[in-house]
Amino acid sequence: GIDVSNVNENFADSKKKVQEAFDNPYPITWEYLNPTGASSGIVKLDDGSALDIHFSEEPAGVYEIEFARDGSNKQMGRSGQGDEFRVFATVQAAMLKWWKQLDKTSARKITFYANKQDGNRARLYKRFLKMWGDKSGWEIEVNAKSGLAAYSLTKPKKSGAGSIFKRLGFGK
C-alpha cells in the first residue's frame, strides 16, 4: 500500500504556512494615498522584485484596483514567482488601508480584475470580495463573461426603507 501517515501533517503544515503568510504582509510604501482620486503604493518583495498597487478613479466615484509585480506590465495573470499568499496578504492590507481612508460619500463602485485562467487568484478574489461585502454592506458582483473576470463592490442605492428604519431609530 501507499504510506499516507504524513499526509495530514503536510496539509496542516502548508495550512499553517498560508496563515503565517496572511498574518505577515510586506510593508507598503505609499507614494500617495488619497480619500478621492488616485492612490499608489509600492512594495519591495524578498526576491528583490517590486509589487505595484494602484487605485485609479475614472469616472468620479468609480475605482479600479490593479496590482502587478514589476516586469509583468500590469497583467493580472499569475507571475509564477511564488510567495503569492504573502503578496495577496499585502494587497489585502493595502486595500483595507485605502478603504479606511476612502471618502465613502463620493465612492460608488470598486472593481478589480483577474484572468479566468488564474484559478487561485479568482478564488482569493471571491473570498476577499465576500468578506469586504459582508463588512461594508456593499453589493458584490462577479462578471466573468470574458477571459477577464471583474470583481465589483457597489454602494447600495438609498432606498425608502432606509429612511423608515432611521425614523424608527434603527441604524445610524
* 33's grid cell: 494615498
The phi, psi pair for 33, rounded to 5°, reads -135, 110
Strand order in the sheet with 139-143: 29-32, 39-44, 50-57, 62-69, 109-115, 148-154, 139-143
Q: What is the pLDDT of residue 138?
A: 94
Q: How far apart are CA 50 and CA 144, in angstroms?
A: 28
Q: How far apart are CA 124 and CA 109, in angstroms?
A: 20
Q: What is the pLDDT of residue 18?
A: 72
Residues 6+ positions from 106 with CB-CB distance below 8 Å? 36, 60, 61
Query: SS3 of 114, please?
Result: strand
Q: What is the pLDDT of residue 156?
A: 92
Query: Is-contact 69 77, C-beta < 8 A?
Result: no
Q: What is the pLDDT of residue 57?
A: 96
Q: What is the pLDDT along the chain (172 residues), one digit of tens a residue?
A: 777 666 677 777 777 777 777 778 999 999 999 999 999 999 999 888 899 999 999 999 999 998 888 755 444 445 555 577 788 889 889 998 999 999 999 999 999 887 777 777 777 788 888 988 998 999 999 998 878 889 999 999 875 555 555 555 555 4
Q: How far apart are CA 149 and CA 10, in angstroms?
A: 32
Query: Is-contact 56 66, C-beta < 8 A?
Result: yes
